[in-house]
């Protein structure tokens, strides 16, 4: 997936700025990172094994960079060298919704606000 096809949400833009991740870094992680599908989101993880030989010095700062993409939107970005272990433990499918439509099973809070926010961010 190339950076041209991924739209960046306002939340992701804020996180990229806070964490010092440039658009070139995002492009590299999307191109070279390990792609995992979990919980309805695509994770792109850039670990030590994804660094091409000869570029270790230039790209070691990206080690642990993780991008979350859903429906063509970059949702968020963070750095955690052990993130792959956590991602692998996640369910491959989205969590089931509670029987009451639009309610979160854990908190019983409405989910509509969350859905509306994702639709508006661009």
Question: Each residue of 5-42: pLDDT tens digit?
Answer: 889 999 999 999 999 999 999 999 999 999 988 888 89
C-alpha pair distances (Å), 41 with each of 8, 20, 49, 65, 71: 15, 23, 22, 16, 8
pLDDT computed for residue 96 by the predictor: 60
| Lookup: tokens for 16 | 């990229």
Could you state, in order of their start, the residue ranges of all structural domains in the chain?
Answer: 7-120
Under 8 Å between Cβ of 12 and 122: no
In the chain the beta strands, taken as DSSP E runs, fall at 7-8, 34-38, 41-46, 65-70, 73-79
67 pLDDT above the threshold of 50: yes
- The pLDDT score that the predictor gives to residue 60 is 86
pTM of the model: 0.67
Give the neighbor-by-neighbor strand order of the sheet with 7-8.
7-8, 73-79, 65-70, 41-46, 34-38
What single DSSP character describes residue 93? Answer: S
Task: With CA atoms as reference, report the closest residue to 79 among 31, 13, 16.
Answer: 16
Instruction: Quote the CA–CA distance of 66 and 76 in Å, as a whole number.
Output: 8
pLDDT digits (tens, 9 = 90+) for 91-117: 666 666 555 444 445 444 443 334 343
Helix and strand element counts for the chain (H, E): 5, 5
Specify the pLDDT at position 111.
Answer: 37
């Amino acid at each position: 997936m190339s950076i041209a096809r991924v739209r960046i949400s306002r939340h992701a833009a804020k996180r990229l700025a806070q964490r010092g991740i440039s658009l070139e870094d995002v492009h590299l992680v999307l191109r070279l990172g390990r792609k995992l599908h979990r919980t309805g989101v695509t994770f792109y993880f850039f670990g030590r094994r994804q660094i091409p030989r000869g570029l270790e010095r230039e790209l070691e700062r990206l080690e642990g960079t993780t991008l979350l993409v859903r429906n063509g939107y970059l949702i968020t970005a963070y750095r955690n060298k052990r993130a792959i272990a956590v991602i692998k433990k996640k369910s491959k499918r989205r969590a089931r919704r509670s029987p009451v439509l639009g309610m979160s099973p854990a908190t019983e809070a409405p989910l509509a606000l969350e859905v509306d926010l994702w639709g508006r961010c661009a």
